[in-house]
Amino acid sequence: MASDEDETRGRDRDAARSATPRYSRRLSDKILIAFHHACDQGDFEVAEQLLHILEMMLTRRPMSPDTNRRKNIESLVAAHERLWHLRHPEASQV
């Protein structure tokens, strides 16, 4: 049988694990991945909505100073270009 002390240590260990971040990717990265997945599936309406959310996240005041704003904006522009080319395939053939 486990003693009360063992149970307390187990709860403390579980609490410490839950306090540490479980996710390695930023939310904006996950939204960008979901955007590309929607594009791959041909669901352009969802892709567009995800782009609007991503744009809102990236253009508001930055939360942490260590983020690379230029890289984030370049990714956003590239995503807009991808969606435009998918919606206008005839323009890509010229």
Candidates 18, 14, 28; CA nearest to 62 is: 28
- Per-residue confidence in pLDDT tens, the chain, 94 aa: 556 676 766 666 665 566 666 778 889 999 999 999 999 999 999 999 999 999 999 888 766 666 688 888 899 999 999 999 999 999 877 6
Two tokens, residue 77: 């522009």
In the chain, where the domains are located: 25-92
**Of all helices (H) and strands (E), which one includes residue 61?**
none
User: What is d(CA 84, CA 53) in angstroms, rounded to the nearest whole number?
Assistant: 17
Predicted TM-score of the model (pTM): 0.69
